[in-house]
Amino acid sequence: MDSVRMAPSASNRQDWEFILVDDHSLKEKLYRAANKQSFVREAPVVVAGVATDPDEVMSCGVNPGTVDLSIALDHLTLRAAEEGLGTCWIGAFDQGKTKELLNVPNGNKVIALMPLGYPKSELEPKDKTRKDLEEVINYNGF
């Protein structure tokens, strides 16, 4: 978890908190709040990334909490892979139910859930279908 703590954030505000869920009955409830995605209840730990100032807006019009938590959780995915752990970014969950289950205060927002654990079998590198660079890279304008 030190990798998330050390992640960069807007103005180094670190407007985030992380909830580690390892209680089986709570994971079962989160599983239901997350559209019954089985890895939520099967993973030893589920990390909930919470933005503590979700109404803040940077001068560019973007919420820094969502961006900062995305960076921090990506640090977690990279570190987990180094350690042989599997992760999965979950954005499909009921915000209200999840906040209630995790006792997240009003004014804060759960940005993502991330199950974390050792895969049942060794992960094999897979070819991923991605757009060609020419389809996603532009120079000096859109």
Residues in the chain, total:
142
pLDDT tens readout for residues 20-34: 999 999 999 999 999
Q: 11 with 24: CB under 8 angstroms?
A: no
Overall pTM > 0.85: yes
- Determine what percent of the chain is predicted with pLDDT higher than 70: 99
pLDDT tens readout for residues 78-88: 999 999 899 99
- CATH number at 20 reads 3.40.109.10
What local confidence, expressed as pLDDT, does residue 10 receive?
87
Which three-class secondary structure string do you get for 72-119? HHHHHHHHHHHCCCEECCECCCCHHHHHHHCCCCCCCEEEEEEEEECC
Q: How many domains does the chain have?
A: 1
Is residue 73 one of the residues assigned to a domain?
A: yes
Residues 6 or more apart in contact with residue 94 via CB below 8 angstroms: 33, 34
Is residue 77 one of the residues assigned to a domain?
A: yes
- Whole-number mean pLDDT of the chain? 92
Let me know how many helices (H) and strands (E) the chain has, helices first. 6, 4
Is residue 141 one of the residues assigned to a domain?
A: no
Is residue 142 one of the residues assigned to a domain?
A: no
Is residue 33 one of the residues assigned to a domain?
A: yes
Is residue 95 one of the residues assigned to a domain?
A: yes
Show the domain range for 60. 2-136
